[in-house]
Amino acid sequence: MSNYTNYEKGAALEDWVEACLESLKGDGLVREHHRLVRSHEHPEFYVQDCADREWLLECKNLAEFYHKKPGKNPVGSKWSHRMSWTRSHILNKKWRQSSYPIQDGNKHAEHSIITVQNTESLRPVLVITHLNFDPDPLQALSDLFGPNVIVFKHQVVGGGRQVAEAMAEIYTRLKQLFQK
């Protein structure tokens, strides 16, 4: 996994999630979906399901790390994300905007925009490899996403059985959300 940059890891998950959304569109559960312009300011996807509900999907393809040196945490214990990282990478994104810029092939400052029907009814979804977070950020994630958290166990990079299992889990969970 270390041969891939964080950008490549993120893009790999986003590509797979987009493939899931295309399949769900073909299954009649998604009316439209857009990959938003890559930015730390907003989530990765806007989705409108066939019940006209609007969703924002945030994707995190994180590796699990383990403590290697003695200190506050025992050697071998899983490393967990703190509130500062959680805020800057997830919580502080713009979750209630009236519009979002979408990836449209335009490499300039101006992009096409998707307009949200009702900012108060936007439903955030977190698609993430693990929930190794300190208690406070874990609670903050729960407050924002509620039950709309899709956890899969392996980073999505390259191919193989583990990636196929992760993608099946993501597809199944997205399908469940859009069918409710």
For residue 98, give its domain range: 6-179
Q: Does the structure show a pLDDT above 60 at 4? A: yes
Confidence of residue 69 (pLDDT cuts 50, 70, 90): confident
pLDDT, tens digit (0-9, with 9 covering 90-100), for 89-124: 999 999 999 999 998 776 666 788 999 999 999 999
The CA distance from 36 to 99, in Å, is 10
The CA distance from 1 to 9, in Å, is 9
Q: Does the structure show a pLDDT above 70 at 20? A: yes
Contact 83, 136 (CB under 8 A): yes
Indicate the pTM of the whole model.
Answer: 0.89
In a domain, 94, yes or no: yes
CATH number for the domain spanning 30: value is 3.40.1350
In a domain, 139, yes or no: yes
Total count of domains within the chain: 1
Residue 109: per-residue pLDDT: 67
